[in-house]
Amino acid sequence: MQVSHVKNSLLLQEPFSETEALYLQDLFLTAGFHQVYVENFSRGRSAMYHLLDSLQCHQKIGCLSLDDTIISSGVTDVLAMMVAEDYLLSTDRLTLFLLERFDFDFVWIEESSTLMQSIWYKQFKNDLINFKIDRTIPIIRMQENREVVNN
């Protein structure tokens, strides 16, 4: 995985060196929002699984994605949880989700353009900040960067 700093964010490409893996593992243990760019969400998700598996320290991992691809066992599909329990019906319900059900110790968000344009997602991000959740857990914001090229 090639790790490059791009305006306080990372550009990730596999395969990655041991040094890069150690850097990423440190990042994955640091609370706050972390922006990463990947060639596509499928490759980004694969890298997440690989890095999280190597860490073996997070107990409750969540992934927020609009993609229909099934999320690996051991990782909670945050969107499916919110839909199944009617947390997207209103802004109050979404806030309630974060206060009562958001008990993750690591989350990554696959920020597609569709997700970023949705009103509920804008509130979701604001609430993560307002409730200081971003100060307690690592939150990886993953975006596709079509300019990423395999080496």
Note whether residue 11 is domain-resident: yes
Note whether residue 26 is domain-resident: yes
Note whether residue 132 is domain-resident: yes
Strand intervals (E) in the chain: 2-5, 9-13, 32-38, 61-64, 75-77, 106-110, 138-144
Instruction: Report the CATH number that the domain containing residue 61 is assigned in CATH.
Output: 3.40.50
Residue 63 · residue 78 · CB < 8 Å: yes
Average pLDDT, rounded, for the chain: 86
Residue 118 · residue 73 · CB < 8 Å: no
Note whether residue 150 is domain-resident: no
Residue 47, pLDDT score? 85
Residue 15, pLDDT score? 67
Note whether residue 127 is domain-resident: yes
Note whether residue 79 is domain-resident: yes
Report pTM.
Answer: 0.85
Note whether residue 70 is domain-resident: yes
- Residue span of the structural domain in which 62 resides: 2-144
Report how many domains make up the chain. Answer: 1
pLDDT of 13 strictly over 90: no
Residue 8, pLDDT score? 46
Tens-place pLDDT, residues 49-107: 888 887 888 999 999 999 999 998 899 999 999 999 999 999 999 999 999 999 999 99
